[in-house]
Amino acid sequence: MKKRLGSILWPALGVGGFIAVWAVSARLVDNALMLPSPLVVLGGFRDLLYDGSLLRDLRASLHRVLVGYAIAAGLAVPLALVLAYFETLRRIFLPVITLLRPIPPIAWIPLAILWFGLGDKPAYFITAVASFFPIFINAFSGGVSVETDHLNAARCLGAGRWSMIRRIYLPSSLPQVWTGLRIGLGQSWMAVVTAELIAAPSGLGFLIQMSRLNLETPHVLVGMLVIGVVGAFMTTLLGQAERFVLPWRRTLTHG
Amino acid sequence: MSAVSTAIDVTARALPPKEGLIRLTGLGVRYGGTGRSRATAAVQDVNLCIHPGQFIALVGPSGCGKTTVLNAIAGFVKPTEGTVTIDGSSVTGPSARAGVVFQQHSLFPWMTALDNVAFGPRELGLPNSRELARRHLSLVGLGDFADAYPSTLSGGMRQRVGLARALATEPPVLLMDEPFGALDALTRELMQELLLGIWEKKPHTVVFITHDVEEAVFLADRVVVMGAQPGRVREIIEVDLPRPRSAETRNDSRLAHLRAEISAIIRDESRRHFNNAGDGI
């Protein structure tokens, strides 16, 4: 009971303190254009909620993230595991990945616009690029870190090649695949905003960009805070899902 | 009987098994021998004949190639010279003919204890693999922990699951690489007695590596003392302690005597190795 109380009390204290510091700073700055107060931002939030534009933008951003992320996960996980398993393929393709990985998603935007124009498609591309690499890198290191003792044990218990893949390689790389998927989702979410700042006529990034041009700083902050809250929600959700995806880890992480 | 063997058959036990004859002939294993770099011999010219149902322990100073010999029998490493056969057919890779109990951390963490034990029977397509697994878990006293994941079990319990997993496919040969080395002294003694209890009822051919000489003498029919640089068989000591053995056997004066004798050989071997290494300086 006491533990439970603490798990609410301390975070509430942190968030409350943050809002208090913000409110005091806004009072000191005393300029709604530079730093609107929490109450003003809350008013902006209400306005955007009532006229439906906030939900529309949120839905547009979420949709882009989920599509781009799904494409990235669908490509990165199989590719990483295949490269981890076949050494020759790894030697061929790994240098390409190493070369492309340091390029930030935002640097892809010009190409994305040239190839796909404006709207959803370049955003799919950018969110996919953003999450592909973290997913790939983690899944790959999961794939190559299979323990020799596990492989040997399985072999002398009569496991064939297919069994080795399905019952040893896959589950043994799953924790790191999962880590990659978690990091990747966060990366996609951050990248969608970047993409929308430049290449989309809707979405939270677009909301921020438009509000900036109209000098509506409270709406800029509404956009930023919604991004933060939704991102934190996704992280928590995936954290909770872990006990179902990796049931054998439950006792390690929660006990 | 092989010319290289110095074995005396163990006195009659109920139902001597027909399978599980291990024969090492001129076994040599070199590591890292590709290209111009000089390959180091992990073991050289090892000749050993282990009879069905016999329990042998491998001891020796570190670096004497105990694990290499075991890995060669398991099929994890290929001999660079000589041959390894089980029941007359050559070992070409890991197979279900030899069950292996590893030092530690070899259970599949993503499977429950029961699924770990059922893995082998299932892969071999044995009927009722889960029932078989359940029986072997009970055999090691863990019938109530079927659904536990390895991460929730103690070190001793994990090694018991590891033993059950290796036994579940009923291989003629059981290879154990310091299986109790990481356990505390008391748990280790209990594990030794558990292992003997299982083995005396249904003798597999066991090759057991340990650095604990008392453990070797307590368990084995023969103790193979290995020497280092290169790894080779230095001496084979027959253990004439009566069976079945139990906790009381530990007080037998013959055990103390054998332990002292074997320890002296190992110490001599380590010292020789130590002085040789000094020559180079």
Tokens of A155: 């072999």
Does residue B122 form part of some domain?
yes
Strand order in the sheet with B89-90: B40-50, B22-31, B81-86, B89-90
The residue ranges of every structural domain in chain A are 37-254
- Give yes or no for residue B253 having a pLDDT over 60: yes
- Give yes or no for residue A237 having a pLDDT over 70: yes
CATH H superfamily, domain A37-254: MetI-like (1.10.3720.10)
B78 in contact with A, Cβ within 8 Å: no
What confidence score (pLDDT) does residue B7 get? Answer: 41
- Give yes or no for residue B136 having a pLDDT over 90: yes
What residues of B are in contact with residue A149 (Cβ under 8 Å)?
102, 105-106
Say how many Å lie between the first and final Cα of chain B, rounded.
Answer: 46
A166 in contact with B, Cβ within 8 Å: no
- Give yes or no for residue B8 having a pLDDT over 80: no
Split at pLDDT 50, 70, 90, the class of B4 is very low
**Taking Cα atoms as reference points, which of B232, B246, B189 lies closest to residue B212?**
B189
Contact B93 A168 (CB under 8 A): no
Q: What is the dihedral of CA B230, B236, B239, B243, to 10 degrees?
A: 90
**Taking Cα atoms as reference points, which of B83, B24, B54 lies closest to residue B226?**
B24
Does residue B147 form part of some domain?
yes
What confidence score (pLDDT) does residue A243 get? Answer: 87
- Give yes or no for residue B216 having a pLDDT over 60: yes
> Quick one: average pLDDT of B10-32?
78
Judged by DSSP in three states, B26 sits in: strand
Residues B180-212: tens digit of each pLDDT: 998 999 999 999 999 999 999 888 999 999 999
- Give yes or no for residue A86 having a pLDDT over 70: yes
> Quick one: average pLDDT of B16-26?
89
CA distances from A46 to A51, B125, B196 (A): 9, 64, 75
Does residue B261 form part of some domain?
no
A87 in contact with B, Cβ within 8 Å: no
Number of structural domains chain B divides into:
1
> Quick one: average pLDDT of B25-32?
90
Q: Tell me what the pLDDT averaged over chain A comes to.
A: 92
What confidence score (pLDDT) does residue B269 get? Answer: 87
Percentage of chain B exceeding pLDDT 70: 90
Residues A90-149: tens digit of each pLDDT: 999 999 999 999 999 999 999 999 999 988 999 999 999 999 999 999 999 999 999 999
A158 in contact with B, Cβ within 8 Å: yes
Does residue B93 form part of some domain?
no
Contact B108 A249 (CB under 8 A): no
Split at pLDDT 50, 70, 90, the class of A170 is very high
Least Cα separation, residue B82 to chain A (angstroms):
22
Contact A248 B149 (CB under 8 A): yes
What confidence score (pLDDT) does residue A249 get? Answer: 84
Bridge-based pairing of strands B40-50 and B22-31 is antiparallel
Residues B35-88: tens digit of each pLDDT: 555 667 789 999 999 999 999 999 998 888 899 999 999 999 999 999 999 999
What confidence score (pLDDT) does residue B35 get? Answer: 52
> Quick one: average pLDDT of B244-271?
92
What confidence score (pLDDT) does residue A165 get? Answer: 93
What confidence score (pLDDT) does residue B121 get? Answer: 95
Q: pLDDT: is A177 or A243 the higher one?
A: A177
Split at pLDDT 50, 70, 90, the class of A6 is confident
A252 in contact with B, Cβ within 8 Å: yes
Percentage of chain A exceeding pLDDT 90: 83
Which of A152, A163, A174 has the CB atom closest to B123's CB atom?
A: A163
What confidence score (pLDDT) does residue B5 get? Answer: 40
Q: Tell me which residue range forms the domain holding B138.
A: 104-172+182-187
Question: Are the C-beta atoms of residues B7 and B54 closer than 8 Å to each other?
Answer: yes
- Give yes or no for residue B9 having a pLDDT over 60: no
Which of B119, B150, B152 has the CB atom closest to A157's CB atom?
A: B119
Mutating which of B112, B119, B136, B154 best tests the A interface, going by the most A Cβ atoms within 10 A? B119
Split at pLDDT 50, 70, 90, the class of B280 is very low
Question: Are the C-beta atoms of residues B259 and B213 closer than 8 Å to each other?
Answer: yes
Q: How many CB pairs under 8 A join A and B?
A: 75
A163 in contact with B, Cβ within 8 Å: yes
Residues A173-193: tens digit of each pLDDT: 999 999 999 999 999 999 998
Judged by DSSP in three states, B155 sits in: helix
